[in-house]
């Protein structure tokens, strides 16, 4: 795999330490209205609906999801596993994703952070007590603090601050990861801690590929990985997707 080091190492408003880490000067409270939101300085745009689509398929080749009206549409296969994989890999980052769910198959989709940890997308607007499977949840770890889901057909937005778990030379987690997430103007995860992945269906376990196996091996050594958009049998629409690396480890893979 061929990688290119990110030109911008840290977002404005962060301080870079000698160890190559960035530390926020203030709490993470992104502006989510109006939509679409403008990418901030230092953002790496993954999809803009015009001339930029930096997602690959699971074989590391150009992605095969449909693009229509400037929107990236989850395009499934019979195994609900035709996920889109970002060219850019990162360790710690802020991730912005705008999405519009379809009632088909419950509107089911998700944002897979490093391929292991899923911020759920699901038609949960009428759920009185959302659980770890509903929108705003860190799937398998923590239910949302509030039900911030909007009805199917309306544009919604996630802003996620992701700090990857730290591993030793043997690949064992020595420090848990952490997620803070905002959904549609509401805080739904607040410094939620997580360890080893729990889902039996994440891209590195279910219907995986040699390309993803290489990514998983590299990720265990470096802590650097991509973001996935999930295929789960529903034509969810995405737009205006970007990341802001929070350290100097972001890398880009370009397919041959």
pLDDT of res. 19? 37
- Mean pLDDT score across all residues of the chain: 90
pLDDT at 27: 84
- Could you tell me which of 150, 218, 142, 124 has the C-alpha nearest to residue 181? 142
Average pLDDT over every residue of 87-115: 97
Cα–Cα dist 54/77, whole Å: 21
Is pLDDT above 60 for 238?
yes
pLDDT, one tens digit per residue, over 133-192 is 999 999 999 999 999 999 999 999 999 999 999 999 888 999 999 999 999 999 999 999
pLDDT of residue 236: 98
Whole-angstrom CA distances from 256 to 51, 101, 143, 195 are: 19, 33, 40, 34
Amino acid 170: pLDDT: 87
- Give the pLDDT band (50/70/90) at residue 12: very low
pTM here is 0.90
pLDDT at 192: 98
State how far the alpha carbon of 94 is from the alpha carbons of 65, 161, 220, 226, 245, in Å.
24, 4, 20, 12, 6
Does pLDDT of 130 surpass 70?
yes
CA 230 vs CA 9, 66, 99, 111, 120: distances in Å: 27, 14, 12, 6, 9
CA 157 to chain centre: 12
pLDDT surpasses 80 at 24: no
pLDDT band per the 50, 70, 90 thresholds, residue 21: very low
Task: Kindly list the domain boundaries of the chain, sorted by start residue.
Answer: 3-13+41-253
Architecture of domain 3-13+41-253: Sandwich (2.60)
Question: At 203, is the secondary structure helix, strand, or coil?
Answer: coil
C-beta of residue 73 within 8 angstroms of C-beta of residue 236: yes
The whole-angstrom separation of Cα 116 and Cα 94 is 16
Q: Is residue 17 scored above 70 in pLDDT? A: no
pLDDT band at 256; cut points 50, 70, 90: low
């Amino acid at each position: 795999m061929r990688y290119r080091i990110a030109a911008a190492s840290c977002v404005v408003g962060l301080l870079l330490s000698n160890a190559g880490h960035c530390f926020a000067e203030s709490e993470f409270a992104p502006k989510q209205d109006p939509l679409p939101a403008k990418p901030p300085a230092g953002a790496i745009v993954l999809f803009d609906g015009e001339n930029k689509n930096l997602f690959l398929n699971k074989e590391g080749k150009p992605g095969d999801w449909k693009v229509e009206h400037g929107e990236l549409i989850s395009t499934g296969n019979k195994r609900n596993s035709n996920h889109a994989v970002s060219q850019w890999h990162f360790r710690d980052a802020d991730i912005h994703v705008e999405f519009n769910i379809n009632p088909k198959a419950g509107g089911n989709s998700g944002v897979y952070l490093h391929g292991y940890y899923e911020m759920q997308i699901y038609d949960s607007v009428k759920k009185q007590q959302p659980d770890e499977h509903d929108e705003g949840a860190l799937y398998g770890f923590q239910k949302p603090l509030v039900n911030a889901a909007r009805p199917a057909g309306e544009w919604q937005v996630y802003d996620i601050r992701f700090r990857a778990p730290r591993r030793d030379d043997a690949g064992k987690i020595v420090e848990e990861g952490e997620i803070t997430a905002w959904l549609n103007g509401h805080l739904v995860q607040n410094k939620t801690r997580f360890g080893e992945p729990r889902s039996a269906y994440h891209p590195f376990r279910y219907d995986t590929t040699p390309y993803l196996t290489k990514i998983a091996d590299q990720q265990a050594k470096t802590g650097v990985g991509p973001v996935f958009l999930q295929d789960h049998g529903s034509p969810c629409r995405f737009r205006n997707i970007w990341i802001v690396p929070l350290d100097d480890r972001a890398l880009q893979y370009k397919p041959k």
